[in-house]
Structure 1
Amino acid sequence: MFASKFGIRTFIAFVHDFTAVIAAWWFAYLFCFNFKIPSFYLAPLLEILPWVVPIQAGTFLWFGLYRGLWRYASLPDLKRIFLSVILGTLIVSLVLLVLGFLDGVPRSVIFLAPMLLLLLMGGTRLMYRAWKERRLYSLENYEGKLVLILGTGSTAVSLVKDLARSRDWHVVGMLDDDPRKLGTRLHGIRVLGVIDDLPHWVQKLNVGHVIIAMPSASRRIHRHALEMCSNIGIRAMTVPSYVDLISGKTTISQIRDIELDDLLGRAPVVLDNEGLHGLLTGKTILITGAGGSIGSELCRQIVAFKPGRLVLLELNEFALYSIQEEFQSNFPEINMSFVIGNIKDRARLVQLFEQFHPAVVFHAAAYKHVPLMENDNAWQALSNNVMGTYILARTAIDFDVEKFVLISTDKAVNPISIMGASKRLAEMVCQALQQYVSSAKKNDQNGKTYKTCFVMVRFGNVLGSAGSVIPKFREQIARGGPITVTHPKMTRYFMSIPEAAQLVLQAGLMGGDKGGGEIFVLDMGDPVRIVDLAGDLIRLSGLGEEDIRIVYSGLRPGEKLHEELLAANESTLPTHHAKLRIAQASQIDEQWLTELITWFDQHPVLSDAEVRCELPTWVPEYSYKEMDA
């Protein structure tokens, strides 16, 4: 029974408590009679112990005193000991009374014995824990990595407690800018000074690692801490994000390297989970471009709401295979269909809609790479991003899709690129189709009423997405540099991929409150200089700008120095969600859409120059800027 290690420990603990009962009663008699027990009291003591010990041992088992380890003894364990001793004492007193033994027991012993038993059982457990932790984690015998923790909030305190049980780390101090906490001790760890004192304490204590335990701190604080660590040549790490902590995906002790997402310093997204369950739970959801960065993250977010079926539509075979491998492994309980298809292929779309009857469509499929679409691929960008959106949206209307959510971009605002203009046209197509659905409760010849609600979501860059600047910078750092930045003043809006996907879901839920056809603009925060982003990546790689040079290559075709979230003739209306506003864009009528589709039908293909010449007819705010040689 006690062959296993855990069984042996349980047996030893049980024998200890068994012995403690005998010792408590024996010492109670000794204290009662000043260490000279009269012989006429000694015989009754020996008679009652065979009753006392098994009764008290039974209460120990009843309260589960042997399910934990002494090394982790804590207040809940002491509470269980207290309750078991009190209950055991009451039962013992009752049994002794019934058997007639109680008259021979001094009343002081009845009160003193349980007190001594509590002291013996609780005291030995706490002493063992203190000895074990001191032996394992003292500096004299410690071989783990010395670490300083930045922050003294609840996250930092929890981290100190978790790392106290780790053989890999030893916390030697904490730093925080709160003057009230300087010099205090938190779980035995002293708050040594302010964060700016980091270089001093690293040198004095010979620390090789720093953990930033401030998940809600601003981007400025994270960047400042990272720069200090980079300057003194030590490794900076952090705790999981606030979102991951509250969702239960990770624990505080799962420290990791700092990522660019941490330097954004953005507050976590608050979702209307009840509303999203109504939108997604039990329904068939179709995601186009499901193998891409945003499409795949949308799928990851949606599975949490238990859809009836997830249909992942993708043109790229390898991307679809990769996402299939991930999702079938991680979410086996979700019904999923992985389908190859082109959003311009109406016959294929009709086949899929007839088979699955999706209730909600998230349209993330698009050609997005600005310079690539600018030269030699302009017509393909229009054909895919505009006509593909029209064909998909028109099919969604015909099959009574409830919500159609278009993923747009800030490059659609006052576009100077083909890609940006194509996404603005896609927005306008959805606006016109909303008019088609809504105006005069339009019916077709069969008397069918259309009900699809269109929602457009416009946001900036996402960190680490396919084709973005971040993977390129990482490759350049891996090759030893240099990093190429187009212009020292270039800025972009950034958010993390999970945040973008969450806000797309929230916008999809809110769309239709004002009749449909809304363009939601995400709160992107402050624009970030690309050269600062490059510097952050260099420091995150453990290098300095003297190791990896930054060179300027000049603006590429279709690129702006600064992106915009609203056109000059647009304003926004607030919503009940702090990170979402509605752009008041000009309305698009059905006649415009008819003329646009006719234009596409009349031109099977156009050259880049012809596309640029024709685009202002359809997107008046589009302007083409010739790049300097």
Structure 2
Amino acid sequence: MGKSIRKYILILIDVLLINIAFFMAFFLRFDYHVVEPYFTLYRQSFIIFTLANISTFIFFKQYHKIWRYVNLKDLIDLMVVITMGSAVSSLILFLLQIHLPRSIYPLSWLLNIILIISSRMFYRYIMSNSKVKIKNIVFKNTLIIGAGSAGQMLIRELRAHPEIGLKPVAILDDDKSKIYRSMEGVPIVGTLDDIIKAVKENEIDEVIYAIPSASRTVLRKVIDSLSELHMKVKTLPGIYELVNGKVSVSQLRDVDINDLLGRDPIKIDLDEISSYIKGKRVMVTGGGGSIGSELCRQIAKFNPSHLIILDIYENNMYDIQQELLRKYPDLRMTCLVASIRDEKKLNIIFKEYKPEIVFHAAAHKHVPLMEDSPHEAVKNNVYGTLNLVRCANTYGVKRFVMISTDKAVNPTSVMGATKRICEMIIQSFDRMSKTEFVAVRFGNVLGSNGSVIPLFKKQIAEGGPVTVTHEDVRRYFMTIPEAVQLVIQAGAMAKGGEIFVLDMGEPVKIIDLARDLIRLSGFEPDVDIPIKITGLRPGEKLFEELLMTDDKYTSTKHDKIFIEKPGFNDYDGLVLTLEKYKSKIDDMDTYEIKEFIKSIVPEYNTPEHVTLDEVVATTINSK
């Protein structure tokens, strides 16, 4: 039924109800028998009474509302409008010298309210409980966790979209005062402690968690309680997103590991960030990767004058390019396929585009792979960073922010050690450059390319086993968006030379992470999906560190960001060493490369140490 037809039908219904209310007022006032001359007064005034009320309804847009979603505020608004309509009609009748018995006015007003509000409530009831036949849809009994505004909106949305196939039959909420009451006609049957009982008694097929404001410990309680039933839990987008129409209930999704490990939203200083990015030329290296692409997304929100995305892998960069073109059609953006190893190409790019801010996220990051290809780790991570830093210094970049890693602290891997050298490059160049060079160090990000989460998901999908290197291995985790927000915030706070360290929270045991993912997938760990311990891989630690020493850091105005001190400042020694061996890297074997790294990073833990110059000289001469 079209909107116009529905509107006219509603007006006709209101005309009928208003007339019934007006006549009933006379009928009750005169003890069920309206005699002359009062019946004449009724005939003279009913058209005026009807038109005055309908005109008031139209003026206050009562026919623009969607009455299938009527709530208490809508009913109060309607009551006010009915009162105003009665007042307008009374005024017109007074001006026309049509004097009705005084009791007619309150009686007609009261009857008007009763009939019209009842009609709205009846319409809402009919629409909410109407059965829509949809082929091939089997409705699932659904348990809603949360009897707040999010839960209420969810129930309405599910009823408005029967094609989703979810039927709300019970609600749980930890507010005991709500128990044995109902919301939107759905009974509130208990607290979260009653979840197993509620699932069994109501033959629940789906559980939806609808408490956006609750801590993640509440969600974990739900997951743990349902683990024995092998039941998945879906979650709801934020209630304010639903209110603003940004998402629909059809975007309900399974609870994932981000919901359990992520923390409460991070507070960032939007004004501070906006002031240093807005209107600036910003370059992101590695812009197609997990961190780089998220950097591009968030930077685009702050209206840079030009976003330059640089990456060697064109497919990933194409994806983020297309995404940003859809979301920010007015954004000036250039995507360049180039390697940070190519110093000549980088000079051409910096000279042409003149970036004012650089976020350096390009790197080889896979620990085991870099153990087998240390030459590539050195050439890409170390010399690539050196190329970028020199270009930034030469072409007047104002601020250079490098993404580092917790694996750079007391490194045991080639990857971690090369990132530590990158930190040293950053700090040493800051001493002699007008560019503000800083590094931001953090741990693992959830769901990034090549991280443990996608691997576990793939293994679970294949039926297991899920492989964990050691029962006691622990890692720090952050979600990609929260890590990037803190990186951008740290960039706003930079004065030059700092290594910013992000508060990663408490480290997580990887074996617990594996068990959580198995449960979230609807299986029981070690029963449906086995977990296999494979042993630590080359370069791996049992645990990671974020600070070189525990006592050498200072707080910042942001409670999630710290600064490690003191910094590295031997610019001449570092650059001379890097230049000396730049042309010899490809001629070294794996052991020699690791010894070269150790000569720069003494805390790098390698087997046995010999003099680097002796090793290289012997190798070169023999070739």
Shorter-chain TM-score above 0.5: yes
Aligned residue in 2 for 1:125: 120
The answer as to whether partners of 2:172 and 2:191 remain within 8 angstroms in 1 is yes
Whole-Å Cα distance in 2 between the matches of residues 27 and 247 of structure 1?
A: 43
- The one-letter amino acid of 1:266's match is R
Does 2:537 match 1:556?
A: yes
- The one-letter amino acid of 1:608's match is T
Deviation at 1:430, TM superposition (A): 0.5
Aligned residue in 2 for 1:384: 380
Deviation at 1:181, TM superposition (A): 4.8
For 1:395, which of 391, 397, 408 is the aligned residue? Answer: 391
- The one-letter amino acid of 1:392's match is L
Q: Measured at CA, do residues 125 and 155 of structure 1 come closer, stay the same or move farther in structure 2, by a change above 3 Å?
A: closer
Q: Measured at CA, do residues 243 and 265 of structure 1 come closer, stay the same or move farther in structure 2, by a change above 3 Å?
A: farther
For 2:485, which of 476, 480, 502 is the aligned residue? Answer: 502
Aligned residue in 2 for 1:542: 522
Does 2:167 match 1:170?
A: yes
Whole-Å Cα distance in 2 between the matches of residues 112 and 181 of structure 1?
A: 37
- The one-letter amino acid of 2:85's match is G
Q: Measured at CA, do residues 18 and 228 of structure 1 come closer, stay the same or move farther in structure 2, by a change above 3 Å?
A: same
Q: Measured at CA, do residues 21 and 205 of structure 1 come closer, stay the same or move farther in structure 2, by a change above 3 Å?
A: closer
**1:24-63 superposed matches below 5 A:** 24-63=21-60
Whole-Å Cα distance in 1 between the matches of residues 594 and 12 of structure 2?
A: 88
SS in 2 for 1:495: strand
The answer as to whether partners of 2:498 and 2:567 remain within 8 angstroms in 1 is no
- The one-letter amino acid of 1:122's match is I
Does 2:597 match 1:615?
A: yes
Q: Measured at CA, do residues 219 and 310 of structure 1 come closer, stay the same or move farther in structure 2, by a change above 3 Å?
A: same
Whole-Å Cα distance in 2 between the matches of residues 391 and 247 of structure 1?
A: 46
Whole-Å Cα distance in 2 between the matches of residues 179 and 333 of structure 1?
A: 51
Deviation at 1:570, TM superposition (A): 5.6
Deviation at 1:57, TM superposition (A): 2.0
Q: Measured at CA, do residues 601 and 77 of structure 1 come closer, stay the same or move farther in structure 2, by a change above 3 Å?
A: closer
Does 2:488 match 1:493?
A: no
Unaligned runs of 5+ in 2: 609-623
Aligned residues: 600
**1:64-463 superposed matches below 5 A:** 64-102=61-99, 105-136=100-131, 144-152=139-147, 154-167=149-162, 168-179=165-176, 181-240=178-237, 250=247, 254-375=251-372, 377-437=373-433, 450=434, 452-463=435-446
The answer as to whether partners of 1:216 and 1:242 remain within 8 angstroms in 2 is no
For 1:528, which of 508, 519, 522 is the aligned residue? Answer: 508
Q: Using structure 1 for the length normalisation, give the TM-score.
A: 0.89
Deviation at 1:65, TM superposition (A): 1.6
Q: Measured at CA, do residues 307 and 44 of structure 1 come closer, stay the same or move farther in structure 2, by a change above 3 Å?
A: same
Q: Measured at CA, do residues 98 and 245 of structure 1 come closer, stay the same or move farther in structure 2, by a change above 3 Å?
A: closer
Q: Measured at CA, do residues 309 and 29 of structure 1 come closer, stay the same or move farther in structure 2, by a change above 3 Å?
A: same
Deviation at 1:33, TM superposition (A): 1.6
**1:579-598 superposed matches below 5 A:** 579-598=560-579
Query: Which region of structure 1 is more displaced relative to structure 2, 407-416 or 501-510?
Result: 501-510
Deviation at 1:111, TM superposition (A): 3.1
Aligned residue in 1 for 2:617: none
Deviation string 1:255-304 (CA, Å, 9 cap, x unpaired) is 21011101104111111111111121222211000110100011111122
SS in 2 for 1:466: coil
Unaligned runs of 5+ in 1: 438-449
Whole-Å Cα distance in 2 between the matches of residues 620 and 61 of structure 1?
A: 81
Whole-Å Cα distance in 2 between the matches of residues 356 and 406 of structure 1?
A: 19
The answer as to whether partners of 1:30 and 1:36 remain within 8 angstroms in 2 is yes
How high is the sequence identity, in percent, across the aligned residues?
Answer: 41
Deviation at 1:417, TM superposition (A): 0.7
Whole-Å Cα distance in 2 between the matches of residues 31 and 335 of structure 1?
A: 73
Whole-Å Cα distance in 2 between the matches of residues 48 and 183 of structure 1?
A: 49
Whole-Å Cα distance in 2 between the matches of residues 415 and 51 of structure 1?
A: 88
Q: Measured at CA, do residues 407 and 212 of structure 1 come closer, stay the same or move farther in structure 2, by a change above 3 Å?
A: same
SS in 1 for 2:170: strand
Q: Using structure 2 for the length normalisation, give the TM-score.
A: 0.90
The answer as to whether partners of 2:427 and 2:567 remain within 8 angstroms in 1 is no
Aligned residue in 2 for 1:482: 465
Query: Which region of structure 1 is more displaced relative to structure 2, 263-272 or 91-100?
Result: 91-100
Deviation at 1:247, TM superposition (A): 9.5
The answer as to whether partners of 1:239 and 1:253 remain within 8 angstroms in 2 is no
The answer as to whether partners of 1:484 and 1:552 remain within 8 angstroms in 2 is yes
Deviation at 1:370, TM superposition (A): 0.7
User: For the aligned residues, what is the CA RMSD?
Assistant: 2.6
The answer as to whether partners of 1:411 and 1:563 remain within 8 angstroms in 2 is yes
Deviation at 1:107, TM superposition (A): 2.0
Whole-Å Cα distance in 2 between the matches of residues 83 and 200 of structure 1?
A: 45
Deviation at 1:31, TM superposition (A): 1.9
The answer as to whether partners of 2:170 and 2:202 remain within 8 angstroms in 1 is no
